[in-house]
Chain A
């Protein structure tokens, strides 16, 4: 591992946390505007984290304390590691070559899993119900998510994200496979809110039903860690979608002749813009325009409809490649 990688490994997570919180702020502001409210300032999530870090961390009396306290750390660590696998625009991912899409899939799962385990360990009935719901939901959306990844592996004959990011998928597939990729994109868009526990799939955290479910007993530092990992996960998921489906560079599209710092800055801003668009479309817009599903309805949506879309997509890709 060279020093450059080490610098990346430290700056990427910091940048990821910052961007995740900024995006969360924009998301809240945009959602408020959609519902004719003013909304909080964009820096509000930073204040939230700061406030949580200052508050007392309470461990419930009948909780399994070490699991209860360990899970926020695991979740935060998983989200930090996740950032190291996602190429940031034209910059390569620090851990490229050490893992592939399968690892990303596991890291995404690990966060949901740690929240569920933390919920079970807290010993609160609300958390237990929430954790049960999270497990059911995870079983439902993992299949379409895996199917999308299989679709990409079919095209590139590789699970490596670096290989996938190096060439836009649209440039190497025929019209039939392109239709398949569009279907895979739709499936991934539906999976995104579930993966991030946002409406209409925030069943595990349903505020009016089970008082935030798994997070009901968390407070102070532990809650701040979950809050941060949630923010990072939102950014990472949107970034992943951009890397998979829209890896076009601005200089490549407009035939610009940029070099040096200018090139990196322009490309980074372009990448952030793409991520923001996906974030607002797949998360904010969806969570503002839907009611919460019941758990069995959500399972049906994934097991039947999204699965069919994803499988048809994979079939088209397989026929087209």
Chain B
């Protein structure tokens, strides 16, 4: 008897997904035999908006690209712009940036641990980890004044200082998270059910990881020692000498499954705490901005000609911002953002094939996907090479709908 095949659509709205994307799976019993990943449900045209504004406005716009990595994008932005302008942030500002970047990595990793626990129905762990994460958000609010979009970075420096009173709170926080991370390691790495659900699930070999061009913790879990902080050091990372964490360092071998990626993320929290501690100990004195006057800064940008790439190791992987300045504009002429999820989502199709329906949420969650990071600017040109204006695009869409209705025989 032939087995019945079911078509299970996951998304664009589904409890396992927090943002819109669609995974269309053909299942035979519990086994997935055919899968298609469709993306492009989040449209905001943020790069296009950036090209219409000045560089400082675009910097704060870049913070809005992602809700969780609200430092990763500005970080890559300021590095790229500083390269293009040929300026360097003062040492103290560099250290403050590094501290905030690492604080964000810790809270993003804890958030991910909660999400992946929720995906397998372990809501108690979700509540526990997210409760533990609150302290970090409080610290970020103390330092920057905001919990989500910190608005603390500036081209050539930072806008707020870390004061003596903050240092004490930061050290308390480090002590708290040292203990909390050990507890999390105990729970996540030795819980039999968590192990049963993640061992061998979403298993990515080193060869496959290289072929799919994955980045960040996903690549590191597969045993590839890659990290922007290690390969292209910037700011305080250049002084520290960060070494990417791979499972070989921890347990001797890398299997590249969801369990390994949990391990990598947990140990990266420890590493981040070390980095913050180093920065607090070695924090240099000095000013916070290379060019404190915004008018002078914008004037310098207007005189700048050229292009640059800024890269930052976000919690999810490397974030790359490409810029072209010139033409007497005070903002980027061209701005291209490459977020880590863009590379990592490629792993879904090969990993879901042959997997079980129960593994879909884990495969989807283990790369820590961010759909709004993947939002892209699309310039539509007609046959003559002219950019099609919104009215023409709308007219074409209506025509296409009419044609489809006619073809399918649908009447109003």
Residues of A within 8 A of B (CB): 34-37, 125-126, 128-129, 132-133, 199-200, 202-203, 206-211, 288-297
Q: Does B119 contact A (CB under 8 A)?
A: yes
Interface code B110-128, partner A: CB below 8 Å = 1, 0 otherwise? 0000000111111111011
Number of residues from B at the complex interface, CB < 8 A: 33
Q: Does B278 contact A (CB under 8 A)?
A: no
Q: Are B16 and A208 in contact, with the CB atoms below 8 A?
A: yes
Partner of A37 from B29, B117, B127, B193 at Cβ < 8 Å: B127
How far, in whole Å, are A209 and B122 apart by their CA atoms in the complex?
13
Q: Beyond the given A206-B358, A294-B358, could you list 16 further A-B residue pairs with CB under 8 A, ordered by the A residue number?
A: A34-B124, A35-B127, A125-B9, A129-B30, A200-B193, A208-B15, A208-B118, A208-B121, A290-B193, A291-B117, A291-B194, A292-B122, A293-B193, A295-B30, A295-B356, A296-B30
Which residues 353-401 in B have Cβ within 8 Å of A in the complex?
A: 356-361
How far, in whole Å, are A49 and B15 apart by their CA atoms in the complex?
22
Q: Does B8 contact A (CB under 8 A)?
A: yes
Are A291 and B120 CB-contacts (below 8 A) given A36-B127, A36-B128, A129-B6?
Answer: yes
Are A210 and B357 CB-contacts (below 8 A) given A132-B29, A290-B122, A292-B122?
Answer: yes
B-side contacts of A291, CB under 8 Å: 117, 120-122, 125, 191, 193-194, 197
B-side contacts of A294, CB under 8 Å: 196-197, 356, 358-359
B-side contacts of A209, CB under 8 Å: 16, 357-358, 360-361
Q: Mind listing 21 A-B residue pairs with CB under 8 Å?
A: A35-B128, A36-B131, A125-B27, A129-B357, A133-B30, A200-B121, A200-B193, A203-B358, A208-B118, A208-B361, A211-B14, A291-B125, A291-B191, A292-B120, A292-B121, A292-B122, A294-B197, A294-B356, A294-B359, A295-B358, A296-B30
Partner of B8 from A34, A129, A202, A297 at Cβ < 8 Å: A129
Partner of B196 from A34, A206, A210, A297 at Cβ < 8 Å: A297
How far, in whole Å, are A107 and B32 apart by their CA atoms in the complex?
34
B-side contacts of A202, CB under 8 Å: 121
B121 nearest CB neighbor, chain A only: A292
A-side contacts of B124, CB under 8 Å: 34-35, 288-289
Q: Which 5 A-B pairs have the closest CB atoms?
A: A292-B121, A291-B122, A35-B127, A208-B16, A291-B193
CB distance from B110 to the nearest CB of A (A): 15
A-side contacts of B27, CB under 8 Å: 125, 129
Q: Does B7 contact A (CB under 8 A)?
A: yes
B4 nearest CB neighbor, chain A only: A128
Interface code B143-163, partner A: CB below 8 Å = 1, 0 otherwise? 000000000000000000000
CB distance from A5 to the nearest CB of B (A): 43
How far, in whole Å, are A291 and B128 apart by their CA atoms in the complex?
14
A-side contacts of B15, CB under 8 Å: 207-208, 211
How far, in whole Å, are A291 and B126 apart by their CA atoms in the complex?
11
A-side contacts of B356, CB under 8 Å: 294-296
B-side contacts of A35, CB under 8 Å: 123-124, 127-128
B-side contacts of A211, CB under 8 Å: 14-15
B-side contacts of A129, CB under 8 Å: 6, 8, 27, 30, 357
B361 nearest CB neighbor, chain A only: A208
B358 nearest CB neighbor, chain A only: A294
B364 nearest CB neighbor, chain A only: A208
CB distance from B248 to the nearest CB of A (A): 27
CB distance from B363 to the nearest CB of A (A): 11
CB distance from B183 to the nearest CB of A (A): 14
A-side contacts of B29, CB under 8 Å: 132
Interface code B320-362, partner A: CB below 8 Å = 1, 0 otherwise? 0000000000000000000000000000000000001111110
Partner of A126 from B8, B30, B361 at Cβ < 8 Å: B8
Partner of A128 from B6, B118, B121, B359 at Cβ < 8 Å: B6
How far, in whole Å, are A198 and B356 apart by their CA atoms in the complex?
21
Partner of B119 from A203, A208, A288, A297 at Cβ < 8 Å: A208
How far, in whole Å, are A128 and B4 apart by their CA atoms in the complex?
11
B-side contacts of A288, CB under 8 Å: 123-124
Are A125 and B120 CB-contacts (below 8 A) given A36-B128, A132-B29?
Answer: no
A-side contacts of B119, CB under 8 Å: 208
How far, in whole Å, are A36 and B128 apart by their CA atoms in the complex?
8
Partner of B6 from A37, A125, A206, A208 at Cβ < 8 Å: A125
A36 nearest CB neighbor, chain B only: B131
A34 nearest CB neighbor, chain B only: B124
How far, in whole Å, are A132 and B30 apart by their CA atoms in the complex?
9
B115 nearest CB neighbor, chain A only: A208
CB distance from A123 to the nearest CB of B (A): 11
